[in-house]
Structure 1
Amino acid sequence: MLTILYRGPLASCDYDCPYCPFAKRRDSRAQLRADRAALARFAAWVAAREGDTAVLFTPWGEGLVRSWYRETMIELSHLPQVRRVAIQTNLGGRTAWTARADLDALALWTTYHPGQVSHERFLAKSRELTALGVRHSVGVVGQPEHLEAARRMRADLPGETYLWINAAEGLSYTDAEAADWTALDPLFSYSRHPHRSLGLPCRTGHDVVSVAGDGTVRRCHFVKTPLGNLYDGTFIPDRAPSACPNTLCDCHIGYLHLEPLGLYDVFTDGLLERIPAHL
């Protein structure tokens, strides 16, 4: 199966989180049209592909407030060769559209941003997804000021809804601080420190790739060397996992694929939506 992390040119977001590492902009109508066209081209390529495929949308901005992302996810979910289609989202948009998707394939990776949305509103959205039968995880960035909000969210979510914690970029945690976050997310240790990755076998470039809006293929979002283009036949996957060229890997969507970490055994079929097999 080929897993694709797709990131088109969309960069506009309805939130303005001060800790967000992504440079946000207000997309013009022309930029939005370009993003919509790029997404349609990618979806057509997936539809024409015969092999099993999984897709995780990782937009710089918020995709689900745009109708073309919702419609594309619905369409892809019904394709027999698409085993999973997921997206990273702040869950600020509507949820009713998910009822039109194949819920065996659809999943959401959602993030709760205290200060951008109320506890009650986000929790209601998560409960709507649960009632609709939509697989989803909930996460919080491990900013010190978010700890109490994360504890409250964990207490109010159903036990079967996984709450993950991302270590805040550039922030070091004492053992006591890490223990507080680990009490909420038993897998926080994977996020706490960057992983030494240079020379370690990684599945990216083999059965996991990153694809940009113009079709440029890279082994992952964090290795800039192009491997070809999805649309002109120049991309050929590596025959086997190959050595990571970067010194460190500090993002979940990157180190997830480092073979020595064994996270495929932890997440099994919940890889793209960040749901471990055993909570």
Structure 2
Amino acid sequence: MRHIPTPIVTYPDRGAVVAARAAIEGALASPLAPLRSAAPGVPMCILSGCGWQDTGGAQRPVALARAFAAAGHPVIYCSKLDHGVAVRDGCLVTDRMTMAAAAPALRGAGGVVITTLPDWTPLVQRIQEQGWRVAYDLIDDWDGFVAGGDLGSAALRQERELVAMAELVTCSAPRLVERAQRLGAKRTALIYNGGPEDPFERPECPPCDMLLGSTQAIYSGYLYGSWFDWSILWRLTGRRRLATTVVGRYSRVDALPRVRFVGERSYADAMRYVASADVGLVPFAGSLCRSVDPIKYYDYLAAGIWTVATPDVKPLIGRPFVVTARPDEWPDAVASAARRKARPTADDVRANAWSARARQMTDALGISESGAGAGAEGLPPERWPHAAALAAPEAWPERQVSEADARLRVTWEVPATCQMAPACPYCNNAAGRAALPALPENWGGIVAGIEQLGEERGPLYLSVCYGEPTSQPDVIRAIGRLGRRNKVDVSTNLLFRPPDIAEWPRSGNIRLATSFHPHAWGSVGAFVARRREIEAAGIECGVALIVAWPPYAERIPGWRAEMEAAGITVEVLPFWGRWRGKSYPEAAGEGEESCLGRPCRAGVDYLFVAFDGTARRCYLPDAEVLGHAIGAGVRMLDKPQPCVSRICPCPDMWRYLV
């Protein structure tokens, strides 16, 4: 039986964290100069896909960052999952948006940027333009991830660009060296994963929630992914004397006899479980494992225990203190490994420590280890004097964005409220909005995620619509924040006054699409006067929209003529709904654009962010989900895909049909 747990996805509220910083370049650059006297090593910038605390902080990029810092290198660590700015273990840990905006500050520092994922390529290029050298740390077979549906195919194109930029590709497994060479790498170096600097002593008492038995097996690490073979755990439950403890993050797993899940732990705590065990498990299966050098092997080595792995984990075959067995052989293999007399020594552990791997990497880069002024604890927090300033919610440098500058169009569905009273009789989403809160639960994280999208793939052309954006002060503030560095089009009923939007930038980035609702305005003149008032306050008003509600049919031409006489472009939108037993827009004789099966660039050049932050290819409910505005992020398509909907009701979307 194969069991896969439900993943945990956390959406941090970043609304009060790193919003924008006017002097971010100086704040990030200034630590590098004083660090040269205390830590004369070459500055290192690591761009990673894992957070600083992932699996207790034991992942390769984090471990290398610590080792570089301990060897005297100023280290900036940037991940997709960390938020804000902090000094951790002598490294400046920051988020993706901060790093993207701060790249110009790195000019002249003469460092090395090391990235582990292909989708960092645009930022790597930006840092390379500041005079930094580039290394690509290849840790997985991304072809296999794409084939298995775990990664978008666009990553392979980006990886080819990254390999072309890199002067060195370091690889964690022999098969990855072959892959890098096929991709045209200029130079390659095989640098396996590593582990602790010293052996762990077996605790006198194991952790209180560890499952105890005659033989105690341990697994510590990720529990997600197609490579984790849950059937192996089931097979182990048949051995009554075997007790298995699993350390790792999960949200729901079925109870298994003689298996205990204790959740994620810090690295130090996780190693107490490992050091209390008799044998370590690597229950991985599938083609992806052929290029995986499991970090947990080195942790098990430091704990003085043997490892049992499947033959699919090719890098472990023939390694010291490893038993390789097929899944059906595992119960016997685990029992046998636990009885082995020979055990790893301190020399075995130190030869495979992360410090040794860091030296291999700097040697391959032609960088000498300095070590001056930096002890085993790395660089002290006071050597990063501007870290606190980076976390302050100050203004980013604004950039003026034209429609032509925008690289990605995004529609954002927010908020669920509207201050129109009485409500529009022709509103087609009022019922759906009524069941929702004013703002989504993870509001701050969604705003920050869209801001991050703008830094990575933007500038954006962002359309904000759903209820009335100006009915919520938080939405008004978010529009101002996003409008500093993106083009923002706001669909509004104009029932607000200039002081409400006083904090919006006056760069021309924010423009209003103004909806004329006759029952609210009474006359076209009042509507035009409000537009003029908003424009006088420095915000452009663009097209005027009128819904073709059947009772308005005879009056629409007159309203339109009056607005056009005032120099306003008018667009009449079809009414969607029922009126006097007829369905519209069909009853009005308005055709629909047939799109089923036609190639469409939605998902390539366009993205829809739903109210809850879900990112879809387009606004239609059956459109492909491409990720989330926060958490794991968004995976864009790399080429047009056939439309799966019979009709495309929105004329604005027809531009994406090929």
TM-score interval, smaller chain: 0.7 to 0.9
Answer whether contact 2:601 2:657 (CA < 8 A) is retained: yes
Amino acid at match of 1:152: W
Displacement of 1:159: 5.2
Give per-residue Cα distances to partners, 1:194-231, cap 9 Å, x unaligned: 10011122221112111123321111111434222232
Which residue number in structure 2 is paired with residue 215 of structure 1? 613
Q: Secondary structure at the match of 1:165?
A: strand
Q: Give, in angstroms, the shift of residue 237 of structure 1.
A: 0.7
Aligned partners of 1:27 and 1:9: how far apart in 2?
11
| CA distance in 2 between partners of 1:256 and 1:22 (Å) | 24
Do the aligned residues in 2 keep the contact of 1:12 with 1:24 (CA within 8 Å)?
no
Alignment of 1:200-239 (within 5 A): 200-224=598-622, 225-233=624-632, 235-239=634-638
Partners of 1:98 and 1:134 within 8 A in 2: no
Instruction: Describe the shift of the 1:6–1:26 C-alpha distance in structure 2 as closer, same or farther (beyond 3 A).
Output: closer
**How many equivalent residue pairs?**
235
Residue pair 1:140, 1:150 contacting (<8 A) in 2 also: no
Asked if 1:42 corresponds to 2:446, the answer is: yes
Q: Where do residues 94-243 of structure 1 align in structure 2 (5 Å cutoff)?
A: 94-98=497-501, 100-119=504-523, 120-131=525-536, 132-146=538-552, 147-157=554-564, 160-169=567-576, 170-171=584-585, 172-173=587-588, 192-224=590-622, 225-233=624-632, 235-243=634-642
Structure 1 counterpart of 2:471, from 56, 62, 65: 65
Q: Distance in 2 between matches of 1:152 and 1:7?
A: 29
Cα distance, 1:245–1:13 mapped onto 2, change above 3 Å = farther
Structure 1 outlier segments of 4+, above 6 Å: 25-28
8 Å contact 2:531–2:541 — kept in the other structure?
no
Q: 1:203 to 1:159 in 2, by over 3 A?
A: farther
Pair 130,203 (structure 1): closer, same or farther in 2 beyond 3 Å = same
Q: Deviations over 1:106-136 (max 9, x none)?
A: 0111211112332233221122234335142
Tell whether the 8 Å contact from 1:198 to 1:247 is kept in structure 2 after alignment.
yes
Partner of 2:488: 85
C-alpha spacing 1:239/1:95, structure 2 compared with 1 (3 Å): same
* Higher mean displacement: 163-172 or 43-52: 43-52
Asked whether 1:31 is paired with 2:442, we answer no
Task: State how far apart, in whole Å, the 2-side matches of 1:95 and 1:203 are.
Answer: 37
- Structure 2 residue runs of 5 or longer lacking an equivalent are 1-406, 577-583
The verdict on how the C-alpha distance between 1:27 and 1:17 changes in structure 2, with shifts beyond 3 A counting, is closer
**Counterpart of 2:479 in structure 1: which amino acid?**
M
Q: CA deviation at 1:160?
A: 3.8
Gaps of 5+ in 1: 175-191, 260-279
TM-score when scaled to structure 1?
0.73
Per mean C-alpha deviation after superposition, the further-off stretch among 6-15 and 111-120 is 6-15
Report the Cα distance in structure 2 between the residues aligned to 1:44 and 1:88, rounded to whole angstroms.
Answer: 21
- Offset at residue 26 of structure 1 (A): 8.4
Q: Report the residue type matching 1:127 in the other structure.
A: R
Higher relative contact order (CA 8 A, sep 6+): 1
- Say what the alpha-carbon RMSD is for the aligned residues: 2.7
- Indicate if the aligned counterparts of 1:114 and 1:149 stay in contact, CA closer than 8 A: no
| 1:76 matched to 2:482 | yes
Q: Deviations over 1:26-75 (max 9, x none)?
A: 869x923x43x64432221233333312211122x212122112221112
Change (3 A) 1:38 1:8: farther
| Mapped partners of 1:154, 1:41: distance in 2 | 44
Structure 1 residues 38 and 133 mapped into 2: Cα distance closer, same or farther (>3 Å)? same
Does structure 2 conserve the Cα–Cα contact (< 8 Å) formed by 1:206 and 1:238?
yes
**SS of corresponding position for 2:545:** strand
